[in-house]
């Protein structure tokens, strides 16, 4: 019996593999077989394949792995954004506005909204997505959000501990999150998260949520150190969370703890710009030896974009990362934050272009990845393959 069909991708001016074997090199080619990468190397040594695609001297790199989004929502918070741009400080309570609109939407509308946002991200080169619940904050609404999210993305995170709804006792609400709400979402989610921040949940409340979710078999994530110094980073490292996200305000001890742990520090450049917060110290974290991921934090209040290319450009232009470091953080870094950087027999690794890895790749309408920051804001995604299938083509581009 013959194997899966193979496709040779050639005409690659620059191939960024984000893999130790090949790194980044020119005049390259790769072969896709089924949903995996079967061969990588110089174009001159490319093997035959069933079909061939010539990308015409363009750059190829892994698809983005966006490890932090909030896509299950309805409503608009443009007025809040405008007020913030006029000088009003960001506070966590704006989440309640989105919660009201999301609860009011019917299932069909929420499903269509999430599908459209996933398509938009894919068109921009994002081939792996995480998204969270957290705009329902009742047992039935959180369960509904989890179910709808699971129909569209691989990695769904339970964020019932996003905010304490108005009028509820915080500790009683934590009891609900750790009990019936967790039971209701568990069939649909892989991860649990908590907003460990002033105006949201204390360190002790956050620890309760994370402990209960770990006992239920979920992986752990933390929103931490966004609005000021706090215990989010220390808690994430203590409980072995896969990532702690935001990390705008970190101490030397926080940085050292991250560098000595497997917890990924996920920075959210678009959110930092939208909230006019101090940029997360990505350069400092990398220099200390921490693993850094870049994610979009796509959400209606503080980062209404799915553009990972924009986040990469911001990391280069304003956070002090090199293009190579930013691309790595937005691909392999995100895969590490989702624990998808190491493959298994039935689940190939994501975030790199190496033999056996998942065939998720994007082609830029440019000769090198440097153009992501050199030409910020330009729509450079020319083609995208996801799990070995070309899902974005050049057709219709000007």
pLDDT tens for the chain, residues 1 to 398: 467 899 999 999 999 999 999 999 999 999 999 999 999 999 999 999 999 999 999 999 999 999 999 999 999 999 889 988 998 887 655 788 899 999 999 999 999 999 999 999 999 999 999 999 999 999 999 999 999 999 999 999 999 999 999 999 999 999 999 999 999 999 999 999 999 998 899 999 999 999 999 999 999 999 999 999 999 999 999 999 999 999 999 999 999 999 999 999 999 999 999 999 999 999 999 999 999 999 999 999 999 999 999 999 999 999 999 999 999 999 999 999 999 999 888 899 999 999 999 999 999 999 999 999 999 999 999 999 999 999 999 975 65
Residue 316 near residue 363, CB atoms below 8 Å: no
DSSP characters for 234-260? HHHHHHT-SEEEE--S--HHHHHHHHT
CA distance 235 to 289: 19
Radius of gyration (Cα) for the chain, nearest Å?
21
pTM: 0.96
CA distance 227 to 219: 24
Classify burial at 97, counting beta carbons within 10 Å of its beta carbon; exposed 0-12, middle 13-18, buried 19 or more.
middle
Nearest-CA neighbor of 49 among 9, 2, 1?
Answer: 9
């Amino acid at each position: 019996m013959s194997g899966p069909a193979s496709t040779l991708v050639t005409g690659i001016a620059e191939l960024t593999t984000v893999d130790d074997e090949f790194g980044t090199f020119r005049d390259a080619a790769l072969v896709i077989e089924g949903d995996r990468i079967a061969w990588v190397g110089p174009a001159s040594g490319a093997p035959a394949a069933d079909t061939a695609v010539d990308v015409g001297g363009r750059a190829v790199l892994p698809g983005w792995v966006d490890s932090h989004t909030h896509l299950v929502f309805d409503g608009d918070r443009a007025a809040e954004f405008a007020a913030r741009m006029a000088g009003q400080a960001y506070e966590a309570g704006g989440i309640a506005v989105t919660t009201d609109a999301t609860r009011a939407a019917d299932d069909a509308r929420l499903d269509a909204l999430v599908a459209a946002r996933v398509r938009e991200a894919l068109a921009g080169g994002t081939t792996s997505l995480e998204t969270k619940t957290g705009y329902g904050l009742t047992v039935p609404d959180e369960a509904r959000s989890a179910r709808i999210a699971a129909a569209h993305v691989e990695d769904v995170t339970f964020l019932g501990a996003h905010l304490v709804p108005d009028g509820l006792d915080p500790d009683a609400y934590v009891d609900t999150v750790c009990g019936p709400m967790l039971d209701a979402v568990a069939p649909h989610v892989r991860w649990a998260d908590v907003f460990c921040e002033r105006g949201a949940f204390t360190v002790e409340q956050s620890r309760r949520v994370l402990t209960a979710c770990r006992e239920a078999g979920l992986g752990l994530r933390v929103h931490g150190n966004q609005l000021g110094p706090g215990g989010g980073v220390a808690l994430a490292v203590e409980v072995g969370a896969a990532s702690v996200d935001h990390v705008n305000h970190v101490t030397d001890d926080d940085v050292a703890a991250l560098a000595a742990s497997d917890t990924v520090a996920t920075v959210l450049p678009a959110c930092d710009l939208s909230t006019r917060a101090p940029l997360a110290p990505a350069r400092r974290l990398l220099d200390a030896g921490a693993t850094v991921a870049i994610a979009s934090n796509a959400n209606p209040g503080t980062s209404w974009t799915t553009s990972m290319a924009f986040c990469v450009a911001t990391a280069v232009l304003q956070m002090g990362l090199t293009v190579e470091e930013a691309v790595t953080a937005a691909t392999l870094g995100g895969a590490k934050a989702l624990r998808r950087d190491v493959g298994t027999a039935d689940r190939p690794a994501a975030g790199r272009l190496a033999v056996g890895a998942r065939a998720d790749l994007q082609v830029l309408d440019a000769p090198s990845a440097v153009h992501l920051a050199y030409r910020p804001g330009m729509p450079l995604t020319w083609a995208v393959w996801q799990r070995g299938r070309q899902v974005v083509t050049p057709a219709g581009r000007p």
